[in-house]
Structure 1
């Protein structure tokens, strides 16, 4: 098991090192979803300490996503995402306090929706901006 964890750690570090800004956000979404799924399993196994650590990690990742918001460029969309991230963090807090699997599922579903939108703009987000010239 230690070998598997070491491999995962090296694989994650390599992914982060090689990632462009768009990919980094994708990795954060994946990480939050993974922590929520693992927390759900820990909750069902009655491992309250493990559940709490994983939910806290998911909340930290969501706070990190919030930190990447650019309100100057993102305008209303950034404001809406900030409100959604705030809701997700509060809902995860409640899930932890009440051992509520449904709240974990709710946040995971919201994250998947936002991630799908983010994944959908990959090409647009990674293309260099080309100024159009008037002919």
Structure 2
């Protein structure tokens, strides 16, 4: 009556779940997930390398490079983004090159370097959303005509 576990079916279900959720999240959250994916992939690669799992390391680094290249780099607005987009593009390019070299040399220090470079950018991106939400909630009572309580 029930069939055995099928990794292919599970992967298909997961892919559908991801594709469905992509339509329900905002662009800010999507970029946050991309940063999280890069950092998690590098952490996975470091763990695989420590265990001697060459295939796991290669796959995880490949995933991190793909996220940087196909997700984060391509989403930069090179026309209107100005210096910020240019600097982020250079950072992503540098990180991709370092990850590829780290893969070839089995160099954990290079992977740690990329994590140290991406983490503050990811944290800053997440803080933008938090500060925007805090500003919106601070403006909300005034915008609705409700009295604002101020402590002295």
In 2, Cα distance between equivalents of 1:39 and 1:80: 26
The alignment of Structure 1 onto Structure 2 pairs a total of residues equal to: 123
Unaligned segments of structure 1, at least 5 residues: 128-135
CA RMSD of aligned residues (A): 2.4
**TM-score when normalising by structure 1:** 0.81
Q: SS at 2:72's partner residue?
A: helix
Of residues 31, 36, 43 in structure 2, which corresponds to 1:37?
43
Structure 2: where are the runs of 5+ without partners? 137-152
Aligned to 1:47: 53
> So what's the TM-score if we normalise by structure 2?
0.72
C-alpha separation in 2, matches of 1:83 and 1:57: 19
1:74 CA displacement = 1.3
Residue matched to 2:95: 88
Q: Larger relative contact order (C-alpha < 8 A, sep ≥ 6)? A: 1
Q: Write out per-residue CA displacement over residues 11-37 of structure 1, whole angstroms, 9 at most, x where no aligned residue.
A: 755643321000000000001111100
Query: Match of 2:109?
Result: 102
- CA 1:62 to 1:69, structure 2 compared with 1: closer, same or farther past 3 Å? same
1:116-127 aligned within 5 A: 116-122=123-129, 123-124=131-132
How far has the Cα of 1:72 moved from its partner? Answer: 2.2
